[in-house]
Chain A
């Protein structure tokens, strides 16, 4: 049995319970054979029966073995792990939103459509795009949608020779992976020694085969691509499209907009910038923005609005409109998912926008960048920071010297931080920084928290020099020590099996 203080492992749910120990959520059902021919029925249903108390204890114990923002500082670069306000969840879980069926006729779902409309309009203004689709389920999903749009756009213009997508070497792995899913060839563009994309370097690879240039700005080193206008102009001159990976949108709100930078397509990760809880790996929500010439290609459906027939008035401009889902979009790439949107997340994102307004969002970016720079200058006192200049919402540090002199890697620093009660930064990304630690504090952390983190990291770096072995052994306070990943990959055990079957497998 595991408790918050014990290292005893928690059994699997399948190893608990007794058949027939049922919870009476529903009345007893008749035997299935009374409804269906035996030939279509399953023989057995090998699932455990557990009392509600045992299930509650089981998952509560598992929660005690899981680290979230609610437990401590989570400086995971590129992921924008800011506080997730509870009011957003409370609103999203209201029955009028949570129990609404996706095929509810438009006239009976006006509130849901208005939420989507207000969110879409606000995002379009905030990022300088003509329109957004709320269809994609995450950032990578929106990248796919955007590249499908580009592919279709070029096809309709008779430019099918455009089969190359340019991706800087600092880009996230989803960028090249999304390009490949649309049949594009990926050209990796090395960064300059300033950690940026150079205008001359990109000009050299542009040509009649250029389809899209995907950029993140600020990039994953936390640096603003200050030549962005010239880069966009060059790509456009070559006939290509510009894609903005909005994972780092927390750095620019109220100061710059991708649309004004020259981007034709973009995504947002509302589960980063707009406080949607990441939930241990999703669900996310990836609004996909386009410039005016690409609006027709957006995935279906889109929310259409028209003035209310009787000119009813309300508090907000959108209260004077009526809404519908528009599926009749002949040039659309088609839908990307089963239903319209990760709607519950659209609710959360809009609630967050209401908590801020335009001025508040500007303040968010200011304080996110302030926090990152404050950490950067403090950490630079004892750890190499390869790019010595003002950063945006995140920055990179490197353990290269520690590795060379003491054999201590970024991984060891990360594991040691866990013992101090902090989540580790992102490590080994972006790929161009050796022994990289990518640190993003977000605006919701206080100066005291940042000071505490700096002190811990300073102590760890000192220990790396005096007693590196201690770091190789870290973490020691967690419920398990370092996990054998090689064994996990070489002898994949991806599921529990009933004892008799497991035994057979061992024998054979």
Chain B
């Protein structure tokens, strides 16, 4: 219960209030008063709570497996200094920094986060965070709808299926339709189809993910960008693997005006899907449509540097139904973790991490390509994940690998009927050669079994 009241406290306080009993304070009209018996988990002393969770923990055997899972959630090295700093009570138990004078530290950290995101994406501004990568895409689309006054969004089919699904959920609410552009035999967005589609001038935005869901660089060419710009469509870049920004040319370089992303890779725990750190960055011209909190640098009454939440006239607590978004509580603590990660890694560490992801994933790719019956589906440059065609139902092959203690990747047939025999495999700096050899050996056996069923 964590409440400090002694019986004497309670009696004294009731006396001061001038009321007889606690029940008198909490009474509600009889017709709605609680009558049911509540079925809540039982109260336990703290050490027993830990034991109860020991039981749950044991049943998450997946953490012990050799894992090649990625697809929007990545296993990267997180230095222990991150937790030591981020879990400090001052940060952990603060609310949104409404009172700037006693929140300078957190406000500065968010200002640093905004800067890091700008430096990595090449954009002019970034917000204090949104819920995650998928909602970042949805919010970016809403920015574009507001700017253009149009009612349709165009999105690449090579963009994360969950992100597209969330985009659709949000767009349903606004009676906005979402159309998809196919990907071609290279695994990248069909840019000719894209250029043709935007000609209608009906789309508020076109969204591409790079590296895309298949792990491949997937950006607008100059001619596609010209067509997009000529049609008044706003190019949105989606980044689901933020570490790739350390290697690849930033989204600004191929014309993106808004970047919607996920920063989980920067030290944030995978935690079965959350909490993560979504971000939105944009060019200067979209500043007043950006959702959520923004921290600005200003001065105090003595002229000292001071940080404060700003441009709040965009937000729900001021603008109510005319706000740019309903977001209130965002993901500040995850953004803080990512900021500390970036500070610790620095330019040098981040480059090393990117290079190691490139190296290990290539080691994995060649090991897998050497397995009889397995082929790399696409030849285009990838970051740390890629598509393998196993020539047999991926679901069965993955089940066989699982029986040998290996989570071989994500079954793409789950979303793409034409890719039933394909697996998305990921390797990061934490993937070892032993992992890779074990997978290659097991894959050989698994394909043998399933190719002949």
Q: Do A and B bind each other?
A: yes
The verdict on B308 contacting chain A, using a C-beta distance below 8 Å, is yes
Residue in A closest to B211 when the chains form the complex, CB atoms: A40
The verdict on A45 contacting chain B, using a C-beta distance below 8 Å, is yes
Contact between chains at A101 and B172 (CB < 8 Å): no
| Besides A28-B352, A355-B2, 6 other A-B contacts (C-beta < 8 A) | A60-B88, A68-B94, A125-B40, A280-B333, A282-B331, A423-B102
The verdict on A244 contacting chain B, using a C-beta distance below 8 Å, is no
The verdict on A385 contacting chain B, using a C-beta distance below 8 Å, is no
Contact between chains at B41 and A350 (CB < 8 Å): yes
Interface centre among B273, B300, B312 (most CB of A within 10 A): B273
Contact between chains at A19 and B347 (CB < 8 Å): yes
Residues in A neighbouring B304, C-beta threshold 8 A: 7, 9, 480-481
Contact between chains at B3 and A104 (CB < 8 Å): no
The verdict on A463 contacting chain B, using a C-beta distance below 8 Å, is no
Q: With A47-B116, A55-B343, A337-B166 given, is the CB distance from A495 to B275 under 8 Å? A: no
Residues in A neighbouring B18, C-beta threshold 8 A: 377
Residues in A neighbouring B32, C-beta threshold 8 A: 228-229, 256, 260-262
Contact between chains at B91 and A115 (CB < 8 Å): no
Pairs across A and B, CB under 8 Å, 6 listed: A29-B351, A50-B344, A64-B90, A90-B50, A98-B269, A108-B62
Residues in B neighbouring A281, C-beta threshold 8 A: 94-97, 106, 110, 128-129, 293, 329-333
The verdict on A131 contacting chain B, using a C-beta distance below 8 Å, is no
Residue in A closest to B59 when the chains form the complex, CB atoms: A111
The verdict on A304 contacting chain B, using a C-beta distance below 8 Å, is no
The verdict on A373 contacting chain B, using a C-beta distance below 8 Å, is yes
* Residue-wise interface mask of B (4-43) relative to A, using a CB-CB cutoff of 8 A (1 in contact, 0 not): 1100011011101111001011111101111110111111
The verdict on B222 contacting chain A, using a C-beta distance below 8 Å, is no
The verdict on B201 contacting chain A, using a C-beta distance below 8 Å, is no
The verdict on A478 contacting chain B, using a C-beta distance below 8 Å, is yes
The stretch among B68-76, B228-236, B369-377, B438-446 that forms the contact with chain A is: B68-76
Residue in A closest to B334 when the chains form the complex, CB atoms: A283
The verdict on B200 contacting chain A, using a C-beta distance below 8 Å, is no
Residues in B neighbouring A179, C-beta threshold 8 A: 321
Contact between chains at A494 and B296 (CB < 8 Å): yes
Within 8 Å by CB of A256, from B34, B56, B112, B132, lies B34
Residues in B neighbouring A473, C-beta threshold 8 A: 301
Which B151-170 residues have a C-beta within 8 angstroms of A? 160, 162-163, 165-166, 168-170
Contact between chains at B170 and A101 (CB < 8 Å): no
* Residue-wise interface mask of B (85-126) relative to A, using a CB-CB cutoff of 8 A (1 in contact, 0 not): 111111111111111111111101111101110111000111
The stretch among A142-150, A203-211, A399-407 that forms the contact with chain B is: A142-150
Contact between chains at A74 and B326 (CB < 8 Å): no
* Residue-wise interface mask of A (33-50) relative to B, using a CB-CB cutoff of 8 A (1 in contact, 0 not): 001110011110111111
Within 8 Å by CB of A334, from B12, B115, B166, B359, lies B166
A341 to B89: give the CA distance in the assembly, Å: 24
The stretch among A180-188, A189-197, A234-242, A287-295 that forms the contact with chain B is: A180-188
The stretch among B179-187, B190-198, B245-253, B386-394 that forms the contact with chain A is: B245-253
Which A104-148 residues have a C-beta within 8 angstroms of B? 104-105, 108-112, 114-115, 118, 121-122, 125-126, 128, 137-141, 143-144, 147-148
Residue in A closest to B26 when the chains form the complex, CB atoms: A255
Within 8 Å by CB of B172, from A99, A102, A334, A341, lies A334
How many A-B contacts are there with CB distance less than 8 Å? 703
Q: With A281-B95, A335-B165 given, is the CB distance from A96 to B40 under 8 Å? A: no
Q: With A52-B79, A281-B128 given, is the CB distance from A110 to B25 under 8 Å? A: no
Within 8 Å by CB of B344, from A7, A52, A96, A256, lies A52
Residues in A neighbouring B418, C-beta threshold 8 A: none
Which B325-355 residues have a C-beta within 8 angstroms of A? 325-334, 336, 339-340, 342-355
The verdict on A173 contacting chain B, using a C-beta distance below 8 Å, is yes
Contact between chains at B135 and A63 (CB < 8 Å): no
Within the complex, the shortest CB–CB distance from A142 to chain B, in Å, comes to 10
Which A60-112 residues have a C-beta within 8 angstroms of B? 60-71, 74, 76, 79, 81-85, 87, 89-105, 108-112
A226 to B272: give the CA distance in the assembly, Å: 41
Contact between chains at A444 and B3 (CB < 8 Å): yes
Residues in A neighbouring B119, C-beta threshold 8 A: 45-47
Number of contacting residues on B, CB 8 A? Answer: 198
Q: With A87-B50, A138-B329, A144-B173 given, is the CB distance from A494 to B295 under 8 Å? A: yes
The verdict on A485 contacting chain B, using a C-beta distance below 8 Å, is yes
Within 8 Å by CB of B118, from A357, A374, A426, A495, lies A495
Residue in B closest to A378 when the chains form the complex, CB atoms: B16
Contact between chains at B273 and A260 (CB < 8 Å): no
Within the complex, the shortest CB–CB distance from A277 to chain B, in Å, comes to 5
Residue in A closest to B337 when the chains form the complex, CB atoms: A279
A99 to B296: give the CA distance in the assembly, Å: 35
Within 8 Å by CB of A173, from B134, B172, B316, lies B316
Residues in A neighbouring B97, C-beta threshold 8 A: 66, 280-281
A451 to B162: give the CA distance in the assembly, Å: 51
Contact between chains at B166 and A181 (CB < 8 Å): no
* Residue-wise interface mask of B (266-280) relative to A, using a CB-CB cutoff of 8 A (1 in contact, 0 not): 000111111110000
Residues in A neighbouring B175, C-beta threshold 8 A: 183
Contact between chains at B310 and A488 (CB < 8 Å): yes
A345 to B65: give the CA distance in the assembly, Å: 24
The verdict on A3 contacting chain B, using a C-beta distance below 8 Å, is no
The verdict on B1 contacting chain A, using a C-beta distance below 8 Å, is yes
The verdict on A390 contacting chain B, using a C-beta distance below 8 Å, is yes
The verdict on B63 contacting chain A, using a C-beta distance below 8 Å, is yes
Contact between chains at B93 and A278 (CB < 8 Å): yes
The verdict on B224 contacting chain A, using a C-beta distance below 8 Å, is no
